[in-house]
Amino acid sequence: MENSALSGRVHSFQSMGAVDGPGLRYVVFFQGCPLRCAYCHNPDTWAFEGGQEVTVEEVLQKVRRCAPYIKKNGGVTLTGGEPLAQSAFAAALLAALKAEGFHTALDTSGAASLESAAKVLEHTDLVLADLKFTTEEDYRRHTGGSLAHTLEFLGLCREMGRPVWLRHVVAPGLNDGPEAAARLAALAKGYENVEKVELLPFRTLCIEKYAALGLPFPLEGTPPAGKEHLAPFYEALGPPK
């Protein structure tokens, strides 16, 4: 198979993911990320030189073993890290998966050039788009990325006809409250290809990872998000589509 020998760096694999797209998913965690989100739960995926090098065919061999469980109503999700940071490998892997009849999903912040993202989206059935913050200032301060670029990526998804599930972490004192909720709702409603918005409450389960890596946790002391923090968002977003 063409490009089956192309390799990339992967952090880990999860054979039965239930929260990364529809149905049961085989999840491939890519290694390396250009962002440094304050609430990131996977700091061990940041370094581009980490993880393990694998070929497209080696990943396919792992996925095929789970085909009886994931092929009917589930599929395969690429996440990270940031899959678009290894766009050639991601595109080749997704193309190979689609050729074998698997539903493909891409979990991404959109932090890559639109040209490279388009090549990956050609083989993507569903985009799980991580919208980190709803103002440019907060986006840059707490992730090192850009809201404007993320919106351009969402525009590309719309242009290419790719359905989007918008994902947004809610962290107390950082991006919660009625004003932030109203901004998120307005952004989501501006893209007709956004099928739904998934609110992800901030959790502190990652603190041990930061300690093991010798890294300070930027949100140390921030409490987990509760129902009261999510309520304004549900109110602003309205009933699911």
Residues of the chain with pLDDT under 70: 1-2, 241
The DSSP symbol for 160 reads: T
pLDDT of residue 2: 60
SS3 (DSSP) at 198 = strand
SS3 (DSSP) at 196 = strand
Torsion sign, CA atoms 228, 232, 237, 238: positive
pLDDT of residue 4: 80
Pairing of strands 7-17, 52-55: antiparallel
pLDDT of residue 1: 52
Residue 12, strand partner residues = 29
Q: Pick from 209, 210, 204, 207: which is nearest to 225 by CA?
A: 204
